[in-house]
Structure 1
Amino acid sequence: MRHTLPIAPQFYVTAPQPCPYLDGRMERKLFTALQGEHAQKLNDTLSKQGFRRSQNVLYRPSCAECSACLSARIRVADFIPSRSHKRVLKKAEGLRRNATSPWATEEQFGLFRRYLDTRHADGGMADMDIFEFAAMIEETPIKSRVIEYTRPPGLGERGRPLAAVCLTDVFDDGLSMVYSFYDPDLADLSLGTYVILDHIAIAREAGLPYVYLGYWVPGSRKMGYKAGFPALEIYKGGRWQDLGDPADHKAELHPLSVDPIAEQVARINLPDTRTPPRE
């Protein structure tokens, strides 16, 4: 009779660097490698505890004096679009969705560069080249998809021009929007919002209960839009809870708001991959 041991990944902490969300703060991440035959199960389990994937790494903010970043997800069954959401869906109804395997293309990269140059020229991805872009899209040890959105061709155009792209992971309980970008010239279509709304529709069609949006940060204008989605939950205090009034969640910016790394790691629940005994 043979058994395998439970997954026992090693966890590490990055060196501090400037926070992209809150001015004057320093960012630090707790992370572990995502690899091997149990990568999907590890990803599913840790994502329910506030972790996010970047290529073959799972990470969670673990800043020395700040606990502002809160993982956010939408409860699909309870989501009711607002009037503004309905207007976005109406304006973008001509878009066509195409789900593909995680494979990078030159057209995607061209859109990605235009998006960064217009919206995030001073961000951490500003210098990313086509090879790094391909790695972001293609280096995934779990079930991932690239969701492309194309618009009807204009005068003199051939084919359907690419309007938006989202790298999406498929969990056992939902969809995770790893990274999305869109045509900055189509600002009137509110494509960032539209892509989220369409992922809610995809999850509903697939019978998946959640759409994971990444992190919501109280006080960050970059992340404020996420609080505008109904049925939003945040991972806070070791459990998922309704967002409620966003004003009730103030950024915790003092040393005692963060537990020591060893205590954080000790409380992480890991999946048990032991093979049940044969009868």
Structure 2
Amino acid sequence: MSSLRTLVFFATPAHSCSYLPDRDATTMFVDPRARVDKRLYSQLTALGFRRSGSHYYRPHCEHCNACVPVRLDTRAFRPDRSQRRVWKRNQDVTFRLVPARFSERYYQLYAHYINERHADGDMYPPSRDQFQSFLVEGATDSWFLEITLDDELIGLAVVDVLDDGLSAIYTIFHPDYDDRSLGTLAILWQVQEARERGLPWVYLGYWISESRKMNYKTRFRPIEALLDGTWQAFDPNTRDR
């Protein structure tokens, strides 16, 4: 089994940034041949890495530090008025946590979501192979949170269990239920689940001040950011842009 001391890292050539279209990006990733268990995955996450399928990566851009890893303190979190409304509005939905796997039912929701919400992104057009490689492969204590309404699957959140928290990998939802704020609902559920497991953190990935798609992450407080190699309390309003 690999360890932090034995891992080999690679960097990609510069490529167009997925979030800031006027910039180039470089990504550092773990050697795909490495055997990453839950302990090592947890250590990598604490260092700002994320998982995409079998790949563990983090931004490594020479002249840009816009991507800020953030995590939510589950012990101190208190939902604001808007988040309480989301929870109350969705009292009629059902949650079920199941092992991460491919199913046609999941894929159809995923394809509909990508086609309707991300047709301008690098995941368009969707495919079954893409779903498998992005959300199923490389699973290490990885789960799908099914969100159903009257037996209809309206949301699906990919959740990894770490030694010190949950990692919110990705959430998809049926665009017809946009008014239910299912992305926010999925994070609220993960906070509750982490508390029940005695885990202090929900890792939310990267926050980018110039990306409107990332704004929802800092609506959850208190939040910490990995800055200069240290996790510290974070106020996005004071972040230099």
- Short-chain TM bin: over 0.9
Residue 228 of structure 1 pairs with residue 219 of structure 2: yes
TM-score (norm 2): 0.94
Residue 248 of structure 1 pairs with residue 226 of structure 2: no
CA contact (8 A) 2:69 2:204 kept: yes
Report how far residue 241 of structure 1 moved.
1.0
Question: Unaligned stretches of 5+ in structure 1?
Answer: 153-159, 252-279
Distance in 2, Cα, partners of 1:6 & 1:165: 32
- Output the amino acid matched with 1:211: V
Distance in 2, Cα, partners of 1:42 & 1:231: 26
CA contact (8 A) 1:34 1:42 kept: no
Q: CA RMSD in A?
A: 1.7
Report how far residue 101 of structure 1 moved.
0.9
Query: Any idea what SS the aligned residue of 1:127 has?
Result: coil
1:216 counterpart (207, 210, 223): 207
Residue 113 of structure 1 aligns with which residue? 111
Report how far residue 6 of structure 1 moved.
6.7
Please identify runs of 4+ aligned residues in structure 1 that moved more than 6 A: none
Report how far residue 205 of structure 1 moved.
1.0
Residue 103 of structure 1 aligns with which residue? 101
Report how far residue 33 of structure 1 moved.
3.1
Residue 44 of structure 1 pairs with residue 42 of structure 2: yes
Report how far residue 38 of structure 1 moved.
4.9
TM-score (norm 1): 0.82
Residue 199 of structure 1 pairs with residue 216 of structure 2: no
Residue 53 of structure 1 aligns with which residue? 51
- Output the amino acid matched with 2:239: H
Report how far residue 162 of structure 1 moved.
0.4
Q: Which has the higher contact order (CA 8 A, sep 6+)?
A: 1
Q: Could you give the per-residue CA deviations for residues 177-204 of structure 1, whole angstroms, max 9, x where no partner exists?
A: 1111101100110111111111101111
Shift in alpha-carbon separation, 1:238–1:115, aligned structure 2, 3 A: same
Distance in 1, Cα, partners of 2:3 & 2:169: 30
Distance in 2, Cα, partners of 1:5 & 1:83: 43
- Output the amino acid matched with 2:183: G
Shift in alpha-carbon separation, 1:100–1:34, aligned structure 2, 3 A: farther
Distance in 1, Cα, partners of 2:228 & 2:36: 27
CA contact (8 A) 1:51 1:58 kept: yes
Identity of aligned residues (%): 35
Distance in 2, Cα, partners of 1:20 & 1:38: 26
Q: Which moved more, 1:74-83 or 1:34-43?
A: 34-43
Distance in 1, Cα, partners of 2:49 & 2:185: 24
